[in-house]
Structure 1
Amino acid sequence: MEAVYTSGIWMAESLQQKTRSHESFWLVVTHMGDPKAAFLLVFPFTYFLSRRAGVAVLWVAAISEWLNLVFKWLLFGERPFWWIGESHLFVDRQPIVDQFSSTCETGPGSPSGHAMVTGAVWWVVVSSLGSFLYSRTHSLVLSAAPYLLYVLLLVAVGISRVFILAHFPHQVIAGSITGFILGIVLSRRVPEGRPLLFFFCFSIGLLIGALMLHAGLQQLGFDLSWSIALAKKWCSHAEWIRLDTAPFSSLTRDCGALLGLGLAQYWRPGGWSLPWAPRALSVAISSMGLYHVNRLPLPVRPQGLFYGLFFVKFVMVPQIVMVWVPGLVHLFTHKKKED
Structure 2
Amino acid sequence: MEAVYTHGIWMAERLQQSTGNQEKMWLVVTHIGDPKAAFLLVFPFTYFVSKRAGVAVLWVAAISEWLNLVFKWILFGERPFWWIGESRQFVNKQPKVHQFSSTCETGPGSPSGHAMVTAAVWWVVVSSLGSFLHSRTRSVLLAAVPYLLYVVMLVAVGLSRVFILAHFPHQVVAGSITGFILGIILSHRVPEGRPLVFFFKISVGLLISALALHVGLQQQLGINLSWSIQLAKKWCSRAEWIRLDTAPFSSLTRDCGALLGLGLAQYWKPGGWSLPWAPRALSLAISSMGLYHVNRLPLPIRPQALFYVLFFIKFVIVPQLVIIFVPGLVHLFTHKKKKE
Q: Do the two structures share a fold, i.e. TM-score over 0.5?
A: yes
Superposition TM-score, scaled by structure 2 size: 1.00
CA distance in 1, matches of 2:87, 2:98: 17
Instruction: State the secondary structure of the residue aligned to 1:167.
Output: coil
Q: Which residue in 1 is equivalent to 2:30?
A: 30
Whole-Å separation in 1 of the counterparts to 2:210 and 2:199: 16
**1: CA distance, partners of 2:7 / 2:189:** 40
Q: Deviations over 1:122-165 (max 9, x none)?
A: 00000000001111111000010000000000000000000000
Measured after TM superposition, the shift of residue 317 of structure 1 is 0.2
Tell me which amino acid in the other structure corresponds to 2:262.
L
Matches of 1:61 and 1:212, distance apart in 2: 22
Deviation sequence 1:81-130 (CA, Å, 0-9, x none): 00000000101100010100000000000000000000000000000000
Task: State the match for 1:149 in structure 2.
Answer: 149
1:313 aligns to what? 314
Aligned to 1:43: 43
Partner of 1:65: 65
* Residue in structure 2 matched with residue 94 of structure 1 by the alignment: 94
Q: Distance in 1 between matches of 2:261 and 2:292?
A: 17
Distance 2:238 2:105 in 1: 12
Q: Distance in 1 between matches of 2:106 and 2:271?
A: 39
- The residue correspondences of 1:1-339 to structure 2 (distance < 5 A) are 1-219=1-219, 220-339=221-340
Amino acid aligned to 1:241: I
**Offset at 1:5?**
0.1
Runs of 4+ deviating beyond 4 Å:
none
**How far apart, in 2, do the equivalents of 1:193 and 1:223 lie?**
41
Q: Distance in 1 between matches of 2:92 and 2:99?
A: 21
Q: Matched residue pairs, number?
A: 339
Per-residue CA distance 1:155-200 (angstroms, 9 max, x = gap): 0000000000000000000000000000000000100000000000
Which amino acid is the alignment partner of residue 327 of structure 2? Answer: P
Q: Distance in 1 between matches of 2:142 and 2:337?
A: 39
Structure 1 residue 252, shift from structure 2 partner: 0.0
Deviation per residue, 1:206-225 (Å, 9 max, x gap): 00000000000001110000
Letter in 1 for 2:304: Q
Structure 1: which amino acid aligns with 2:305?
A: G
Q: Which amino acid aligns with 1:126?
A: V
Structure 2 SS opposite 1:317? helix
Write the distance in 2 (CA, Å) between the matches of 1:9 and 1:91.
14
* Cα deviation digits, residues 15-44 of structure 1 (max 9, x gap): 000000110000000000000000000000
Structure 1 unaligned spans of 5+: none
Offset at residue 274 of structure 1 (A): 0.3
Report the alpha carbon displacement of residue 269 of structure 1 after superposing the two structures with TM: 0.2
Q: Which amino acid aligns with 2:38?
A: A
Residue 191 of structure 2: SS of its match in structure 1?
A: coil
The one-letter amino acid of 2:245's match is: D
Give the unaligned 5+ runs of structure 2. none
CA distance in structure 2 between the aligned counterparts of 1:282 and 1:129, rounded to whole angstroms: 21
CA shift for structure 1 position 271: 0.5
